[in-house]
Chains A and B, each alone.
Chain A
Amino acid sequence: MPYNIVVLLKRVPDTESKITIKENAVVTEGLNFVLDPYGEYGLEKALQLVEQHGGKVTIVLFGPAEAKETIRKGLAVGADEAIHIVDPALEGGDAASTAKILAAALKKIPFDMVWAGKQAVDEDNAQVPIRIAELLDLPHVNSIIEFEVAADGKSARCVREVDGERDVMITTLPAILTAQQGLGEIRYPSLKGIMGAKKKPITDWDVAALGLDAASVGKAGAKVETVNLEPPPARPPGKIIPGDPQTAAKELARLLHEEAKVI
């Protein structure tokens, strides 16, 4: 049976980026923005399911106007269409606010399952998809590395990895599902895919389209606010321990034991 699958994606700097901070904000000039890596695993699984069973993959991305280019990357690897939630009134919020925004969008889209990354690699909140599940009164399975839909399409068997253990979970569908590394190798776009992506529809939704009260989301609706951002503290210069491997190793063990007192 065909599936309607929504994939929630985020535009983030790639993980090889050096993050610099100016006036309490991350400097975005010069950064290479990509789809969030964990979300990409979810997108890959969604594409595979639709290839096997038929259906449609819809990307939903909440982000600034510049995110169109990032959305095209998802369409280029095979997603059918995208919804871009773009409105300055929605920005500046916390994870609770983002979850409300995305939940409002999901209420307007029919789906059998929703995939997202287990966390985005910028703010590392690891709470938005799970919050959405609660807001929509849906089950969720977090940090999935294997996924199989039952023959009747009404439930799924998930293997997930958490705290060094693997759990097998069964969930009814529809459900909110978050992807962990290990779910599968992601694909790269072909030239044909990149060209085709230019013709695929991207629909913009703003606060009015979502039917949200602007005061309940974004900066105004946030329950927590960032006071300031700073680079991580610089570490004091270390010491290189000289000598042949035996001597150096012995001295290192002594320093760890007597000076650093960590062993």
Chain B
Amino acid sequence: MSNNVLIIAEGRAEGLRKVSFELVNAAQQLAAQLGGSAQGAIVGSNVGVWADTLAKTGVSQVFVVDNPALAQFAPESYAAALAEIIRKAGPAIVLFGATGWGKELSARTAAKLDWGLVTDCTELKIENGSLVLTRPIYAGKAIAHVRAKSFPIMVSVRPNIIPPVEANQAAAPIEQVSVTLKEPRAKVVETVAKQKSKVDLGEAAIVVSGGRGVKGPEGFVPVQELADSLGGALGASRAAVDAGWIDYTHQVGQTGKTVSPKLYIAAGISGAIQHLAGMSSSKVIVAINKDPDAPIFKIADYGIVGDLFEVLPALNEEVKRITSQS
């Protein structure tokens, strides 16, 4: 085992996901303390472009499994490919993004290698030679500090908690790793992009959410419009989802997505405990609600007591004016 930190990059049709660049930053900081270097890995089919990008992020080495058998997602095959890279690279720490993809594959790969895995961490540091991690539990109602008893160890890191690096460095060497893959028993046969909003809620830098106060499905129109102007994702409270006004994939909260964007705007959301749990680690929180006693105001940085149907369109116009100038 080396003192290196290996990050598992994740690709999308439009390129490497932002969280992959954030992982490189985290890996470089940890590797500096361990006296090792940050390395990158990518698996899939036709991933040459992603590998080239990853090689320019400042990592010392990139490992690639590029195999047509990985054209469609199959957890067993992907985990087998990742395990092969990890055996070959022999790092002290492996970092995944805590996306759906990363959480699923880190679990399967960790079990395959019999490693420990700490999910959805928001802070990583080396203390007295051990890796100590901070992770919200109960969707953020409590914060756990967790210590890895030994290396190697695997971690998934929540998106948006550390700035991304840029792919503007001299290219690191890329090593192709070959792996024999068995026919997987579970595999994707079709993918449908679903969310109306193009921005993934879990990774979005800005989230605009609506709750009971939007009063119906059409009430989400001004919420969506503001999200679009800000380049953000559309969220919702459980009350709005349970009422059938919006699809559950937008739900933020303890049963739903836990988000940590730089800006969270809650419109017509009173702030039930289970909703607050899912968003209270956001950097800046804005609450817009008619009820001045709504619990959401207790955790908001900025609040407007007023009707969201008046405030949101006005805010949208102002946002468009500001963003067109900058």
Interface, chain A (partner B; CB < 8 A): 13, 15-19, 21, 26, 37-38, 94-96, 99, 121-128, 130-135, 138-143, 161-172, 175, 181-182, 222-233, 235-236, 238-241, 245-246, 248-250, 252-257, 260, 262-263
Contact = CB atoms under 8 A, between A and B. Distances in A.
Contacts of B206: 262-263
Interface of B: 73, 75-76, 79, 99-101, 103-104, 106-108, 110-112, 114-120, 132, 135-150, 153, 184-195, 200-203, 206, 230, 248-249, 251, 253-256, 258, 262-263, 272-274, 277, 280-281, 283-287, 292, 297, 299-307, 310-312, 314-315, 317-319, 321-323, 326
Contact of B301 (A13, A166, A170, A238): A238
A162 B135 CA distance: 21
A170 B189 contact: yes
A217 to B, nearest CB: 13
A56 to B, nearest CB: 24
A171 B280 CA distance: 38
Nearest to B249: A161
A223 B138 contact: no
The 8 A-B pairs with the shortest beta carbon distances in the complex, nearest first, are A223-B116, A249-B314, A127-B107, A162-B100, A139-B186, A134-B111, A171-B186, A253-B318
Contacts of A236: 301
B37 to A, nearest CB: 24
Contact of B75 (A122, A142, A230): A142
Contact of A130 (B104, B132, B312, B318): B104
A164 B195 contact: yes
Contacts of A165: 191-195
A127 B188 contact: no
B141 A18 contact: yes
A238 B303 contact: yes
Nearest to A236: B301
A262 B263 contact: yes
Contacts of A235: 280, 285, 299, 301
B110 A127 contact: yes
Contact of A238 (B120, B263, B285, B307): B285
A223 B100 contact: no
Given A175-B185, A226-B144, 13 more contacts: A132-B111, A134-B107, A135-B111, A141-B75, A162-B101, A163-B203, A164-B202, A166-B194, A169-B187, A232-B136, A238-B287, A246-B310, A260-B263
A227 to B, nearest CB: 5
A83 B208 CA distance: 44
Contact of B318 (A38, A175, A250): A250
In this complex, the member of A168, A170, A171, A252 whose beta carbon has the largest number of chain B beta carbons within 10 angstroms is A252
Contacts of B274: 15-16
Contacts of A257: 322, 326
In this complex, the member of A125, A139, A163, A241 whose beta carbon has the largest number of chain B beta carbons within 10 angstroms is A163
Contacts of A239: 301-303
Contacts of A127: 103, 106-107, 110, 117, 119
Contact of B315 (A18, A142, A249): A249
Contacts of B108: 130-131, 133-134, 140
A133 B192 CA distance: 25
Nearest to A125: B119
Nearest to A168: B190
A169 B188 contact: yes
Nearest to A155: B185
A99 B299 CA distance: 37
A253 B280 CA distance: 21
In this complex, the member of B107, B194, B304 whose beta carbon has the largest number of chain A beta carbons within 10 angstroms is B107
A95 B314 contact: no
A222 B149 contact: yes
6 contacts: A26-B142, A96-B116, A126-B103, A126-B107, A172-B185, A245-B304
In this complex, the member of A94, A130, A233 whose beta carbon has the largest number of chain B beta carbons within 10 angstroms is A130
B111 A240 contact: no
Given A96-B111, A130-B104, A227 B255 contact: no
Nearest to A136: B111
Given A245-B306, A263-B230, A231 B142 contact: yes
Nearest to B76: A139
A224 B116 contact: yes
In this complex, the member of B188, B195, B297 whose beta carbon has the largest number of chain A beta carbons within 10 angstroms is B188
B153 A223 contact: yes
Contacts of B297: 238, 240
B128 to A, nearest CB: 11
Nearest to B114: A96
B142 A95 contact: no
A260 B301 contact: yes
Contacts of A130: 75, 104, 107-108, 111
Given A38-B255, A172-B186, A224-B118, A162 B104 contact: yes
Contacts of B142: 19, 21, 26, 229-232
In this complex, the member of B136, B146, B185, B317 whose beta carbon has the largest number of chain A beta carbons within 10 angstroms is B185
Contacts of B99: 163
